[in-house]
Structure 1
Amino acid sequence: MKIVISGFYGLGNTGDEAILESIVDNLREHLDHPEITVFSLSPEQTAKQHNVKAVYRGWRHDFKGKVKALKEADLLISGGGGLLQDTYPTRFLFGPLPYYLLIVFLAKLVGTKVMFFSQGIGPVNSTWGKILMKVFANMADFVTVRDQFSKDLLHKLGVKRPETVVTSDIVFAFHPKKDTAAMDSLQLERKDNLVAVSVRPWFEKIKQFEQIAEILDTWIEARDITPVFVPMEGHHDDTASKNVLKHMKHADKCHILGTNFSPNQYLNFIGECQITIGMRLHALIFSTLTGVPHIGLSYDKKVESLLKRSGMWEFSAVLEEINVEQLSKNGLQLLDNREKYSKIVEGNAAEMRAEAVRNVDLLKEHFVGK
């Protein structure tokens, strides 16, 4: 079976690279020798890392290569991740939303079937974005989404033609491999008091950096923890991490991991931590996968949806509604009762892993041998 995968790949985002690795590994595990081509901004790197064919994803280069790949394919997988949204400016044919939908349209033009795979939908607030969704998203042959919110939003946007099934993020079916490179890079004398911290830039919002700094200082003074920042998207998160450190009294007690580790290496590191506090969805997913209790700072419905499924929403907060005193207490509660909450997270992770694998089962059911 020949499959093309379209997503936010080859741009150095750890979450999206984990999605791609999970899709590729699970396709190979459950299908008979699939031939996989990935649309990537770094095609040579993607091809080498995953042993796949790769085509440059942008419109301005190798358009014929994309058409050829789609024409030869049995199926286009659009996803996973939060591809279909207009958080970033959407103008006519520019922006994430029109790009991914036009790839779908191109696939249908050349006769290739389309599956939206483990996607998180929205937000879609612009009039043009809503029109694009209603016209082009209805062209998909089958849809799986990673949470109920995404399914509800699709229906609200008028996307009702393909069947839509709620599963979970495909990264819950990630195949972890033991790798201590990230941990080893810090050369720490003590490794039993680590707290993973994941921060990211979010438009003009900066108050959370000062709030996270105060929370971390409280934990350092109360429990002698060592915060380690995990930059899930290169220099963007590295800069955000340094913005938190600027506000800390105990910045000397903190560390920032390097920006060039693989998703698997970041996952292994987070799995060695006592708890996680963070914004990045896939840092929280990595925490869930490894049974690490976590406090999420939700800047988007996708984060809130994950936290409710992982069992950690009661300890977390919407980004604009952070209560420093309450989250500080929540963190101490998780630290003092880590084993109890770890078991809760592990149980919920097992359910979401089964749902993640179901994405591939549904692909087989609807497209293999059809």
Structure 2
Amino acid sequence: MGTMRALLSGYYGKGNGGDEALLATLLQMLPSHVTPVVLSGNPEETSDRYHVEAHNRMAILPVVQALRSCDALIWGGGSLIQDVTSTLSPFYYGGLMALAQTMGLKTIAWAQGIGPLLRPPTRWLARQNFAGCQAISVRDRVSAALLSEWHIPHILAPDPVWALQSQPVPGLWDLPAPRVAVTLRSHPQLTETRLANLTRALVDFQTATQAFILLLPFQKSEDLAIAQAIHPHLPDVSKILCLEDPQILKGVFRGVEMAIGMRLHSLIMAAAEGCRCFALSYDPKINRLMEELGMPGWDLANLPDDANLIGKTWIEHYANGDPLSSEQIQSLVDRALIHRELLSQSLIQ
């Protein structure tokens, strides 16, 4: 049992594979003397999966009691501080951080992807919150530039999920090879017309490559219906894989030749396991990853109307595209471990 207690706050326990991967990595990186206490949308599930103390993130009294019982608050990972997908999200996380700072807890912003921040009140709150942190790490250059503009010290390192240890997937090697993973999510930019074009392109791609298509919902509530809509168009040559454990989810990409994805962490996991990747971006964070890795892809808003062109582009990348080299992957993993060093240096007994 650790001698220091740290409250971990993020989008945990909401069934999102990327956020669960961030939590799993954070728990993997915590110093051994620190006992984690997790705020979760599903505390029972979080407690069972990770063997940690967990509390309902929206229950005010348990949250305040958890804060009182802890020495530190870690704002854990990802695009928590943005006001595009939710106007309430930055106020929830910002209010929690402000409360922790008022109560005298050591506060750490870990592996943040900041923004977009379009509204002056959320921008002001974010600046106050980050200024009050003892240590900050960010995962992209745009977030680093914003903190530099605010004169707030920070470190920049690749997303920590690069360093998440993957686990083998039971039964994966029994499925036909070669395999290609597809991760699409519900989003206003993924219109019915665009989904129909992507589906037609996927059918053409499968016919040309004879690949077995793995449809991977990263968040069932957002992704499963789309996977179920595509699956009947690829009978006998596709399978929907619903996996809850983030380490096993990352392990899928060990057995995959190429990944086509909207989800940021599907692309990071795939690239980390040596897959060719093709991005479909709905958010600046995907564009940042594409830019940093030289990853091909389209913004959904600019997706070609011609399914034939989409399919040909994927076939070309499947045949001739290059995954990251083992040296590039190792460099990204090594640099992602800077997030672990930040925790070790900040959470001193």
The TM-score normalised by the length of structure 2 is 0.90
- Match for residue 198 of structure 1? 183
- Match for residue 362 of structure 1? 342
Shift of 1:19: 0.8
Whether 1:145 and 2:148 are equivalent positions in the alignment is no
Match of 1:268 among 242, 251, 257: 251
Gaps of 5+ in 2: none
| More divergent stretch after superposition (264-273 vs 295-304) | 264-273
- Match for residue 77 of structure 2? 80
Shift of 1:204: 5.5
Gaps of 5+ in 1: none
Match of 1:122 among 92, 115, 121: 115
Equivalent-residue separation in structure 2 for 1:208 and 1:24 (angstroms) = 38
Deviations 1:71-92 (A, max 9, x none): 33232110201111111342xx
Shift of 1:193: 2.0
| More divergent stretch after superposition (135-144 vs 116-125) | 135-144
* Preserved CA contact (<8 Å) 1:311 1:345: no
Match of 2:205 among 187, 198, 219: 219
Equivalent-residue separation in structure 2 for 1:362 and 1:368 (angstroms) = 11
Shift of 1:287: 0.2
- Match for residue 239 of structure 1? 225
Equivalent-residue separation in structure 1 for 2:202 and 2:23 (angstroms) = 33
* Preserved CA contact (<8 Å) 1:288 1:346: no
Aligned ranges for residues 71-110 of structure 1 at < 5 Å? 71-90=68-87, 95-110=88-103
Whether 1:70 and 2:73 are equivalent positions in the alignment is no
**1:118 aligned partner, one-letter code:** A
Other structure's SS at 1:121 match: coil
Equivalent-residue separation in structure 2 for 1:139 and 1:357 (angstroms) = 24
Equivalent-residue separation in structure 2 for 1:266 and 1:367 (angstroms) = 29
Whether 1:328 and 2:321 are equivalent positions in the alignment is no
Equivalent-residue separation in structure 2 for 1:229 and 1:32 (angstroms) = 37
Shift of 1:242: 3.2
**2:5 aligned partner, one-letter code:** K
**1:10 aligned partner, one-letter code:** G
**1:198 aligned partner, one-letter code:** T
Shift of 1:326: 5.3
Shift of 1:47: 1.4
Cα-Cα RMSD: 2.2
Over 3 Å counting, the alpha-carbon distance change for 1:258 and 1:57 in structure 2 is: same
Other structure's SS at 1:252 match: coil
Shift of 1:327: 4.5
Equivalent-residue separation in structure 2 for 1:257 and 1:350 (angstroms) = 30
Higher relative contact order (CA 8 A, sep 6+): 2
Aligned ranges for residues 1-370 of structure 1 at < 5 Å? 1-27=4-30, 31-58=31-58, 61=59, 63-90=60-87, 95-155=88-148, 158=150, 160-161=151-152, 163-181=153-171, 183=172, 188=175, 190=176, 192-203=177-188, 205-206=190-191, 207-244=193-230, 250-312=233-295, 315-323=296-304, 327-337=310-320, 341-342=322-323, 344-369=324-349
Equivalent-residue separation in structure 1 for 2:249 and 2:84 (angstroms) = 26
Other structure's SS at 2:255 match: coil
Shift of 1:108: 0.6
**1:84 aligned partner, one-letter code:** I
Identity of aligned residues (%): 26
Equivalent pairs counted in the alignment come to: 343
Equivalent-residue separation in structure 1 for 2:195 and 2:164 (angstroms) = 30
Deviations 1:295-346 (A, max 9, x none): 011111111222233342xx212221223555434422332246xx23x254
Shift of 1:260: 4.4
Over 3 Å counting, the alpha-carbon distance change for 1:273 and 1:45 in structure 2 is: same
* Preserved CA contact (<8 Å) 1:193 1:274: yes
The TM-score normalised by the length of structure 1 is 0.86
Equivalent-residue separation in structure 1 for 2:283 and 2:147 (angstroms) = 16
Equivalent-residue separation in structure 1 for 2:91 and 2:211 (angstroms) = 45
* Preserved CA contact (<8 Å) 2:7 2:39: yes
* Preserved CA contact (<8 Å) 2:15 2:244: no
Equivalent-residue separation in structure 2 for 1:366 and 1:20 (angstroms) = 18
